[in-house]
Structure 1
Amino acid sequence: MIHLKSIQFNITDSLYRYPYSLPWVKNIKSLLLNNEVTILCGDNGCGKSTLMNLMASSLNLYRINSGDLSSEPLKEASKSIKPLYSVAKAHGFFFEAEAFITYLHFLEKEKNEALNELKRVESDYANRSDYAKMMAKVPHQKSIHELDNLYEYDITKRSHGEAYLDFFASRLKPNQIYLLDEPETPLSSQNQLTLLAMIKDAVQNNCQFIIATHSPIIMAYPDALLYQVSDKGIDKIAYQDIESISLLKQFLNAPEQFIRHL
């Protein structure tokens, strides 16, 4: 189901600061999103992540981090974006791969701190009663229990890729919209295929996805609407016309032709 039909842009700034300085900003008035899966591709630094952040803020989607933009110019620019919905405002989630890895490290840190506190209690309460020691341990044991049961599996004990997929699965609900920024970052090629299967299942449950990626695997999602973000603007593009895909095909067909020039 297509919840979000398009995004209208009216971004202007006389100071020409970030994100207004990005080339595509001055060349865009609207972005059609009339597909269950829309994919943004483009070189590093072209502004894909900025666009994703602006859309996520405009749509008021949940985030892994604090839930708001850290940059004042981004906050201001997001107010100039108008989402056009098919029926009613959609709810959803914004997944940033880098933010997820930071979140994973935060969980690991919290758990380690709780474990260290248990060791400290053992030492500090060595000459106290068992009851006193037990009561001192309770808040730290509670923290560990809560961290261990946040998800179906303890994601801090899994690889980043497995943890990402577990976390992603835990957030999937019918009739939602999801923005994924470079989801391939923690994922192996096999796990990227698993992610595509999860996206396909979610689409069948009336979900819509907008994805920014460099991954040729993710870009190949069947019947996805592909946009290339560049200095010229944001334009539709066919999979086979994406420069990185063409280069990858050439390399795989004759790697020795590239390697010999190193």
Structure 2
Amino acid sequence: MLITQINIDPNPDNGFPFFLPIFQKPIHVTIHKPVLILVGDNGTGKSSLMKTVQQKLGLYEIEMNDFIKKDKIDVTSVNVSYHLSKPKGFFFESSKFITYLEYINKEKTLAEEELKRVEKEYRNSSDFAQQMASTPFKRTIGELNGMYKHDLSKSSHGESYLDFFTSRLRPGQLYLLDEPETPLSVQNQLTLLALILDGVKQDCQFIIATHSPILSAIPHAQIIEIKNQQLIEIKYEEIESIQLLKQFINHKDQFLKHFE
């Protein structure tokens, strides 16, 4: 286990997100499984809780432009207990994935355009001058092409996400995933589930905020529901959305007749 506890004391003076309802009471989470699932309605604070952990540990955040200055959270009231040394890993919000793809494609296009420009501008120069002028752009294109197994711009969003996730998976690291099911079909959610289980075998740890009945069912996962500003450990069958989904599947016609 890379991290074993998350403790947050109420301190609304620390600014966002600590004035949100979830942070008005002390938060004490003991983690005893390599996969922790956070469930609850939108707005209950799942993403904000993971964001505080990410900033406390200094985990890398996947965004479209790492040169844009990000707002920092005052995490002085946050304590995360970890084993031996601070873990490495990353925090990724699936809602930003399409924007991230657009950023990668834009950077590649700009590098290709600049490469064409310098090749034209330096065509009568020495080989050395041509090499010096073109190398930065060739390096950028090569690095972007080598980041992933497939060209993300030519794959579906789901395939791109899985390729992206696989490329970032490293043994013994911590991964915070915010609603990773967003770009994924049911089949691709099952594929992601398998990748997560493979990561667990490599001593990785995951904290996942999700509405997905598939990802919530990851075997042997610890599940915490956030409801009414409380964090309660529950079983899969006790998840409110799972109960409602089962009722709908078993009594579909009775549900739908109310909309006729």
Aligned to 2:9: 10
Give the direction of change, closer, same or farther, for the CA distance of 1:13–1:21 in structure 2 (3 Å limit).
Answer: closer
1:19 offset after TM fit, Å?
1.9
In structure 1, how many angstroms separate the alpha carbons of the residues matched to 2:89 and 2:56?
12
1:113 aligned residue (110, 129, 132): 110
Return the alpha-carbon distance in structure 1 between the equivalents of residues 79 and 251 of structure 2: 47
1:143-182 alignment, distance < 5 Å: 143-182=140-179
Kindly provide the amino acid, as one letter, of the partner of residue 35 in structure 1: K
Match of 2:247 in 1: 250
Equivalent residue pairs, number? 253
Return the alpha-carbon distance in structure 2 between the equivalents of residues 137 and 227 of structure 1. Answer: 52
Could you tell me how far apart the structure 1 residues matched to 2:165 and 2:69 are?
A: 21
Residue aligning to 1:38:
36
RMSD: 2.7
- Superposed CA deviations along residues 141-170 of structure 1, whole A, max 9, x for unmatched, are 554333222222222221111111111111
Contact 2:54 2:91 in 1 (8 A): yes
TM-score where L is the length of structure 2:
0.86
One-letter amino acid matched to 1:22: L
Change beyond 3 A, Cα 1:18–1:146 = closer
- TM-score, normalising length from structure 1? 0.85
Change (3 A) 1:206 1:118: closer
The answer to whether the 8 Å contact 1:4/1:34 transfers is no
State which of 43, 56, 59 in structure 2 corresponds to 1:58: 56
For residues 215 and 207 of structure 2, what CA distance do their matches in structure 1 show? 12
Q: 1:100 aligns with which of 97, 100, 116?
A: 97
Contact preservation (8 Å) 2:12, 2:24: no
The AA in structure 2 aligned to 1:168 is: F
Given the alignment, which residue of 83, 87, 99 partners 2:84?
87
SS at match of 2:24: helix
State the one-letter code of the partner of 1:184: E
CA distance in 2, matches of 1:142, 1:86: 38
- Residues 23 and 230 in structure 1, CA contact (< 8 A), matched pair in contact too: no
Q: Over residues 120-143 of structure 1, what are the superposed CA-to-partner deviations in whole Å (9 max), with x where a residue is unaligned?
A: 679xx5xx88546x9477655554
CA distance in 1, matches of 2:122, 2:96: 44
Q: Which runs of 5+ in 2 are unaligned?
A: none
Q: Distance in 2 between matches of 1:7 and 1:193?
A: 29
Q: CA deviation at 1:67?
A: 9.1
The answer to whether the 8 A contact 2:12-2:18 is kept is yes
Q: Who is 1:47 aligned against? A: 45
Aligned 8 A contact 1:11 1:81 in 2: no
Q: Does 1:260 align with 2:257?
A: yes
Change (3 A) 1:130 1:59: closer
CA gap 1:204/1:169 in 2 versus in 1, 3 angstroms: same
Q: Give the CA deviation at 1:174.
A: 1.3
Q: CA deviation at 1:71?
A: 4.1
Q: CA 1:147/1:129 → structure 2, altered by over 3 Å: closer, same or farther?
A: closer
CA distance 1:236–1:199, change in 2 (3 Å): same
Kept in 2, the 8 Å contact 1:180–1:211? The answer is: yes
Q: Quick one: percent identity of the two aligned structures?
A: 46
Structure 1: distance between partners of 2:38 and 2:69: 20
